[in-house]
A = this chain, B = another copy of it.
Amino acid sequence: MALVFAGICSHAPGITGRAERAEPTIRDAFYAELDRMRRAIEDSGAEALVVVAAEHFANFFMNNMPAYAMGMGEDYEGPIEDPDWLGIPRTTIPGNPDLSKRIITEVMQSVDVAYAQEWKMDHGIMVPLHFLTPKYDLDIIPVNINCQGPPLTPLSRVWEFGRALRRACDAVPEKIAVVGTGGISHWPATPNSGKIVEDWDRDYLDAWVANDKDRLLAYSDEDTLKDAGQGGFEIRTLTAISGLCEGARGDLWFYAPIPIFSVGCTVASMDIIPHVNDMAAE
């Protein structure tokens, strides 16, 4: 039918893997907002959830690194990491290859996605799913935007990807939820792990809530690396949701730096208003 829910959330492995080391009050407030998002997705009647994530060398390596990839499998495995390390048991996640194929085919009219009939999900998708579909009973379509190995896709193309995904969601008869998941400023898995620049994060989130295309596309990779760390490249997954919901406003449900989770933990939704799509007119 259409896009029925859009939002963003964090996915750092510490969120589940180092849960007991976080300050309980702030951690539980974060978890509560993730649970609120689970209810919002359920209430939307979504029949499938597209997760726009930044994976971390689970499926994609520099021997064939797509800028954008989408899953087209019957089902998926996850997590690829040690379940004890991540704090999430290994499981099978349902896919929907027919729906995937229809969405991918439409996205391909303007954005050149790779497709994958297999996918081992890492924390980038498993952490969100652990909170958003804890019974693994909703069809998932995984999406990856390469945020790890340069050359990286430019933010202008990320915006176009969001727009293409919206066009595809609105073209299928099913109700579709989309969640973008990635970090804002962070230096994950480095000696600086836990360093978070709250001002940088809040500035980005201000632009995101306002859905200010000019501000969102003005970030350069050079500045992001310098000011927000390697993890900052993952803003691509969040900016994709801005393109998906072009013209609409966001609502920030939660933001707090939680150093042992290595990132400023974020939960937010975006309004859904009709999309003016120039492709349809072409």
Question: Using a CB–CB distance below 8 Å, which chain A residues touch chain B?
Answer: 59-60, 62-69, 72, 101, 104-105, 108-118, 151, 153-154, 156-157, 161
Contacts and interface: CB of A to CB of B under 8 A. Distances in A.
Contacts of A63: 59, 116-118
Given A109-B156, A109-B157, A157-B109, A66 B151 contact: no
Nearest to A118: B63
Contacts of A105: 151
Given A115-B62, A115-B151, A116-B62, A108 B67 contact: yes
Contacts of A111: 112
A67 B151 CA distance: 17
A59 to B, nearest CB: 7
Contacts of A69: 64, 66
Given A101-B151, A151-B105, A64 B59 contact: yes
Contact of A67 (B60, B101, B113, B118): B113
Nearest to A72: B62
A114 B72 CA distance: 18
Contacts of A118: 63
For this chain, the copies found in one complex come to: 2
A116 B117 CA distance: 20
A101 B62 CA distance: 12
In the A-B complex, list the 5 residue pairs whose CB atoms are closest, starting with the nearest. Answer: A112-B112, A66-B114, A67-B112, A105-B151, A62-B117
A114 B115 contact: no
Contacts of A108: 67, 151, 153-154, 157
Contacts of A156: 109
A163 to B, nearest CB: 13
Contacts of A67: 108, 112-114
Contacts of A154: 108-109
B151 A68 contact: no
Given A109-B157, A157-B109, A104 B151 contact: yes
A82 to B, nearest CB: 23
Contacts of A66: 64, 66, 69, 112, 114
A48 to B, nearest CB: 18
A64 B116 CA distance: 5
A3 to B, nearest CB: 21
A172 B115 CA distance: 31
A101 B151 CA distance: 7
Contact of A112 (B62, B101, B113, B115): B113
B114 A64 contact: yes
